Amino acid sequence: MSNTITDTNFKFPNQKSVYKGKVREVYNINNEQLVMIATDRLSAFDVVMPKGIPFKGQILNQIATKMMKDTEDLVPNWLVATPDPNVAVGHLCEPFKVEMVIRGYMSGHAAREYKAGKRILCGVPMPEGMKENDAFPEPIITPATKAEMGDHDEDISREDILKRGIVSEEDYIVLEDYTRKLFKRGTEIAAQRGLILVDTKYEFGKTKDGKIVLIDEIHTPDSSRYFYAEGYQERQDKGEAQKQLSKEFVRQWLISNNFRGLEGQTVPHMSDEYIQTVSERYIELYENITGETFKKGDVSYIQGRIEANVLKYLK
């Protein structure tokens, strides 16, 4: 699988620093611009898998940049240019240390907590009598503190965020408003593709002039969960699992191989055949979410391609 990019070590002109997250690597150029490279790393249960997934970085970057353009009339974002299939360039921002998670349906983490008997998630009550994958009466916001690479993100309530001074109340009101607006638009875009946007997360930052903007990714299969709309209600009525479009299939494969990211557990072996199927699923996700045919970038020398395209842009 040499046609993947799992790590970068570029030295761009006027580069001040580089930050390496679970999937993205962010280069600070002159304390003004950020060059964000979406690698092919795969993270699940907050653990980075040992092998990259071909085209995953390109897919995530292209979905995120398309969705940024499709929502910029509602919420300002950090994006300035996309000089390469794996690269987004944007304004330098100070990120808020919370992820704004919003859930329209009781799935994934919320369902796991509900099954464990919890009826309050991040300070938000969940109604009695719900089944997994039922819609909430109204979408709920369940924030998480932003983890460093390898650490687990943690649930946190609005009250704790304000009490601990992680975000000011004035800013938090804006984050909530932007989160609801983006989720509503994302839901509408998904519906046009025959999909249901189940839950997602948004990250925000502040520009040098104090403007709150959307950063990082939006409505990608890594940050969001989608169901197929067709047959959704029928499956719910019969108590069947929903047909999903997200990286939940990777999580389920890991769980079936006794891995949940817990201490002492080791990541199961991922064969080249399995890696190929994951790549194909990501391409399917791209085409379903965007409604466009995926065009594979040239991966004969992916590091060189990215470096040349970014240098050309920075000139």
Q: Are 86 and 5 in contact (CB under 8 A)?
A: yes
Same domain (yes/no): 171, 215: yes
- Distance between CA 69 and CA 75 in Å, rounded? 10
What tokens appear for 167 in the block?
Answer: 């975000």
Output the domain CATH number for residue 293.
3.30.200.20
φ, ψ dihedrals at 25, nearest 5°: -120, 130
Q: Print the domain residue range for 63.
A: 15-94+269-314
For the chain, the domain total comes to: 2
Same domain (yes/no): 143, 204: yes
Residue (of 57, 51, 58, 140) closest to 100 by Cα position:
140
pLDDT on residue 151: 56
Same domain (yes/no): 236, 166: yes
Q: Are 156 and 143 in contact (CB under 8 A)?
A: yes
CB-CB neighbours of 293 under 10 Å: 8
pLDDT on residue 1: 45
pLDDT band, residue 2 (cuts 50/70/90): low
pLDDT tens-digit map of 127-175: 999 999 999 999 999 999 976 554 567 899 999 999 999 999 999 999 9
Residue 160 lies in a domain: yes
pLDDT tens-digit map of 3-19: 899 999 999 999 999 99
